[in-house]
């Protein structure tokens, strides 16, 4: 089963997808919109991508503050989660995305991508980090469970 990873922002949604085994995340695209509240086309595109990649689940970045509190952006993400579940019929898991954008910025700065083109890759890369973190946690849980069974 493939998993879609999403980095939901005010004007963009970065999209990543897992490989069929759920081991690695790859960037897919950045969905852009003119206004923050204009989500119909964004939801439609995510629904198309979920069908195209035969996703069985969505992981959505949950932007908590560094002190673990929930702010306005996190509340908007929770609202978006409900919209995604209604629209796609897929389960949506919220995943702590703290510092993923900073990690994406650092990675792009160290890459050979020209600075003026980095923004178009930033949200996709953040989605990759969100999804990869989630999948790594699943692998860790599987490994931990087996260690106790031996």
Q: Which domain holds residue 126?
A: 2-149
Mean predicted lDDT score pLDDT of the chain: 86
* Residue 95, C-beta contacts closer than 8 angstroms, at least 6 positions apart: 59, 60, 61, 62, 130, 131, 133, 134
Q: Reduce the DSSP state of residue 41 to 3 states and report it.
A: helix
Residue with tokens 């990649």: 53
Q: What's the half-sphere exposure (Cβ side, CA atoms, 13 Å) at 59?
A: 25
Segments of the chain scoring below 70 in pLDDT: 99-111, 113-118, 120, 143-150
Q: What is the CATH number of the domain that holds 53?
A: 3.30.420.140
Number of domains in the chain: 1
């Amino acid at each position: 089963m493939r998993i879609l990873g999403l980095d939901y922002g005010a004007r963009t949604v970065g999209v990543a997808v897992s490989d069929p085994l759920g081991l690695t995340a790859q960037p897919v695209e950045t969905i852009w919109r003119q206004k923050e509240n204009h989500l119909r086309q964004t939801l439609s595109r995510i629904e198309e991508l979920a069908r195209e990649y035969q996703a069985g689940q969505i992981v959505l970045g949950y932007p908590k503050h560094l002190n673990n509190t929930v702010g306005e952006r996190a509340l908007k993400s929770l609202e978006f989660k409900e919209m995604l579940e209604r629209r796609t019929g897929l389960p949506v898991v919220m995943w702590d995305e703290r510092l993923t954008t900073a990690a994406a910025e650092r990675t792009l700065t160290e890459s050979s991508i020209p600075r003026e083109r980095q923004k178009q890759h930033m949200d996709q890369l953040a989605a990759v980090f969100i999804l990869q973190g989630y999948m790594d946690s699943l692998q860790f849980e599987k490994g931990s469970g087996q260690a106790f069974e031996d």
